[in-house]
Amino acid sequence: MRTINSLTLDDARHIAAGAEAEALANGWTVSIAVCDGGGHALWLQRMDGAPLMSAQVAPEKARACVLSGKPSKIFEDMVNNGRYAALAMPIVPLEGGEPIITDGVVIGAIGVSGVKAGEDAQVARAGITRLLNAREAA
């Protein structure tokens, strides 16, 4: 057996705050979802004005990252490069999800939806950066 880190609700708050700050700085309205290492929801918020569907897509982007251990962009790239069989995978193949990895283990993920794919990913990465900065400061 091994001991692994896990995200706390406070961690999810830091991640969401960093993501929201990035979205606001760019004038974007998005949904932000954070899940634990099992793909279960820890946090979901839909900013005022974010597309209704984004509240369903964001958690699925995060879950795809937990299941794969990779950014969800990888799956979007597969489909865009003609590997249509990837559409049959039990994940949403859209950029905007980023795994949270500690000591080589996926302990959770963030998914963002509501703007262009690359912008969603930018917001997600800002959330992870906020968490890492908070941990370093502690």
User: In 3-state terms, what secondary structure has residue 83?
Assistant: coil
Q: Is 62 a residue whose pLDDT tops 80?
A: yes
C-alpha distances out from residue 111 to 33, 81, 98, Å: 5, 22, 6
Element (H, E) at 94: none
Share of the chain above pLDDT 70, in %: 100
C-alpha distances out from residue 88 to 59, 70, 77, 96, 98, Å: 18, 17, 15, 19, 21
pLDDT tens for 83-119 read 999 999 999 999 999 999 999 999 999 999 999 999 9
Instruction: Give the model's pLDDT for residue 134.
Output: 86
Give the CA count within 13 Å in the CB-facing half-sphere of 7.
Answer: 30
**pLDDT tier for residue 2 given thresholds of 50, 70 and 90:** confident
- In angstroms, the CA 26 to CA 14 distance is 19
Q: Is 124 a residue whose pLDDT tops 90?
A: yes
Instruction: Give the model's pLDDT for residue 72.
Output: 97
User: Can you list the domains of the chain with their CATH numbers?
Assistant: 9-132 (3.30.450.150)
Instruction: Give the model's pLDDT for residue 131.
Output: 94
Q: Tell me the mean pLDDT in the region 17-26.
A: 98
Q: Is 138 a residue whose pLDDT tops 90?
A: no
Which pTM does this prediction carry? 0.95
Mean of all residue pLDDT scores within the chain: 96
